[in-house]
Chains A and B, each alone.
Chain A
Amino acid sequence: MIVLKATQAQYEALDGYRNGDNLLKFAKDGNDNWIVGTAVLNDDAFAAIHDQLNALERIEYVPVPEPQNEIE
């Protein structure tokens, strides 16, 4: 699955952008990258920042490691 990766500067510029009850939040992937799903590129709620979102790097999604106490 392809996701969008933000640099620290891009993260700081975009994270927390809000339009009504829509919010843009990055999450850390398994490689400690700030990522967000590609669905934000087609969401009218984020139209005002689509240019900045389109500038994010496309990378393959890496799941977050399972916490130790979840492992059998």
Chain B
Amino acid sequence: MALGLGIVVYWATQSGPAAAIISAFKSRVIADGGTVESPSCAKSDVKFLLDNPAPSTYDADYQAVLDRSTALGYTAPSPAQQTLQNTLVTDLKTAGVWDKLDVFYVFATDGDSNFATLNWKAPSSHQVTKVSSPTFTADSGFSGDGSTAYLDTNFSIANDATNYTQNNASAFTYFVSDLSQTDFVAYGARNDVDPNKVRNQLRMRSTDYRPAINDDRPIIAADYRSNNWHHQKRTTSTGFTTFLDSTSFTNTISSKDISDLDFSMRLLTLHFKTTGGTSNLFASAEGTMKVFGLGEALDNTDLKDAIDTYISAL
């Protein structure tokens, strides 16, 4: 088999995506029995391929996540998982969920821990900061260390939310606890300064469950730590509903002004504001967070189905 001198020289000078395209072209020539019309023809064919790359088959919003990852030098997920993640985005769009989100993080990925920090809803903003070394496990997510490790979304409900509002809000996570920790906070931002104490949190204890979304701490006497799916949804000023793996319940509790939640939502801990400033309250959660998101009130079935489909395929 003999490739023309022109194509060989051209191929040898390429690198990166160009080299891949030319290599693929060369393979096809070899597979075809080595017939190349002429070196100049081959060169023009390759140039055409370089000038007209195949368009991405991915949804534009998922492609934006991949593009951001590439720009930052992160390791993207495997091709097979990219397909799954693209399906997750399109499923959320089909269900009408996507446009209602403010932030959406998918920590369960076989990309690297940096890729896992990207906010899929807006990949150039509110990237998660890994604070004091939370543990990342491929295809699983992030977990805390029981003391000081957590994730900071750098997203303030008061300052950054566009869809999430006082009486139209959702917060959700897919969180796996091994039940060894009897008291932890999966996520939270809490203002404990009078006159407007308000919080968005999910605290789980072996004795009770303490969800809150724009209010001040309902307490439910039940151990829900074995549930993976947790979705707090508020559509009125008078109460909100919590959705778990296969059940739900509603708490009657008035909503409060969220303008004082003007500090970042943190994951695997509780960001706690007092008159003395902000700090973390409670040791970081040792369970594994796979997904987290915030937005306006979301259809639980559609949201959960899309995320379950993704998680179960990993």
Binding site for B on A (CB under 8 A): 1, 3, 20-28, 35-40, 42-43, 45-46, 61, 63-64, 67, 69-70, 72
Contact = CB atoms under 8 A, between A and B. Distances in A.
Interface stretch (B32-40, B77-85, B278-286): B278-286
Interface string B117-150: 1000000000111111111000000000111110
B133 A64 contact: no
Contact of B133 (A21, A37, A72): A37
Contacts of A26: 132, 148
A39 B130 contact: no
20 contacts: A3-B148, A21-B127, A21-B129, A26-B148, A37-B133, A37-B147, A37-B149, A39-B132, A39-B133, A39-B134, A42-B133, A45-B133, A63-B282, A64-B282, A67-B192, A67-B272, A67-B281, A69-B197, A70-B217, A72-B219
A64 B148 CA distance: 11
Given A38-B145, A69-B197, 14 more contacts: A1-B147, A3-B147, A20-B114, A21-B117, A27-B148, A35-B148, A36-B147, A37-B147, A39-B135, A42-B133, A43-B133, A45-B133, A61-B147, A70-B217
What 3 pairs between A and B have smallest CB-CB spacing? A39-B133, A37-B145, A43-B133
A35 B134 CA distance: 15
Bin the interface of chain B by size: 20 to 34
Interface of B is mostly: loop
A53 to B, nearest CB: 10
Given A27-B279, A64-B282, A1 B132 contact: no
Contacts of B197: 69
Interface of B: 114, 117, 127-135, 145-149, 152, 192, 197, 217, 219, 272, 279-284
Given A39-B135, A69-B192, A23 B129 contact: yes
